[in-house]
Amino acid sequence: MTEHFCERLRRRLDERGPLCAGIDPSPAALAHWGLADSAQGAAEFALRYLDALAETVAVMKPNVAFFEQYGAAGMAALEQFVAAARDAGVLTILDAKRADIGSTNAAYARAWLDPSASLAGDALTVTPYLGVEALKPFFAAAAATGRGVFVVVRSSNPEGRGLQQAVEADGRSVEASLLDALARHPDGPGAVVGLIAGAAPLPLPEGICYLAPGLDSQGAGLDDLAAQFGGVAAPVAVNLSRALAGAGPRRGALVDAAARAQERIAGGLRPRRG
């Protein structure tokens, strides 16, 4: 029987620590690393993360936009990274934020979650504006092969608050209602729950896994991480992108920055004293 993605993720996080290494080959990051603002530059950037961190980090998250900005050539660069990551045995979450109506989602699921697809990582991020029920083709494709789907529930940016806290017909907020739907879903999809400076933590159901972006960006810090995820039993992968890119491009500096981040994040995730 295929092992569920959240269990695979938990095992890796337990072994290696909670850091998810975000790979964002933005023009600024490429310039800082002395790489070309091109698909080749983005491929080189991503492959250097793999070379430096594949043995010590549980999971890596390439942000698809920073590959797609170079068109089909950029997507070919992402394919190159995905293949290399598979060979290296590191888990990958492809941060694509895809979603449409159900029949179209079947095509996106084929692109990102079919075992034979050139872009198939271990997990994919999707968005729920067209309804969580419309995401079924993603959940089904992922569950069939032990892959994961992370649905954006709470994003790490303040601009999403109004919509994500709107109240549905049953009196619950959009984000609370979504989390509940994910926790009750038989395929056990995961949730993106971002860190927002000073925001009230979202009550988290168990039985699913979490991806937490937003640490150190837009003001959210270790206190916000601790308030949202401290002592949570579910697997939580905490993403850092800019802090790692800023430490590069030297391999040793990247390795050290990741090790420090593991320690720091693990501290934030410890159960808090009452």
Shortest Å distance, C-beta 137 to a copy of itself: 10
Is 233 an interacting residue with respect to a copy of itself (CB under 8 A)? no
Binding mask 108-147 for a copy of itself (x = CB under 8 A): x-xx-----xxx-------xxxxxxxx-------------
CB-based contact 78:114 (threshold 8 Å): no
In the chain, beta strands by DSSP E = 19-23, 59-62, 91-98, 123-126, 148-154, 190-193, 210-212, 236-240
Out of 102, 146, 201, 249, name the contact with a copy of itself by CB under 8 A.
102
Judged by CB under 8 A, which stretch of 75-83, 199-207, 232-240, 263-271 contacts a copy of itself?
75-83
**Burial class of residue 84 (count of CB atoms within 10 Å of its CB; 0-12, 13-18, 19+):** middle
Binds a copy of itself (CB under 8 A): choice among 18, 41, 74, 121: 74
Cα–Cα distance for residue pair 174/256, rounded to 1 Å: 39
Q: Which of 14, 157, 256, 270 binds a copy of itself (CB under 8 A)?
A: 157
Query: In the numeric block, which tokens belong to residue 230?
Result: 């401290």
Name the active-site residue from 32, 97, 110, 161: 97
21-60 binders of a copy of itself (CB under 8 A): 24, 26
Taking the complex as a whole, the smallest distance from the CB of residue 249 to a copy of itself amounts, in Å, to: 20
Answer for which of 101, 115, 250, 256 binds a copy of itself (CB under 8 A) is 101
Which residue matches tokens 């990051």?
29
Half-sphere exposure (CA, 13 Å, Cβ side) for 105?
26
Query: Which residues are catalytically annotated?
Result: 97
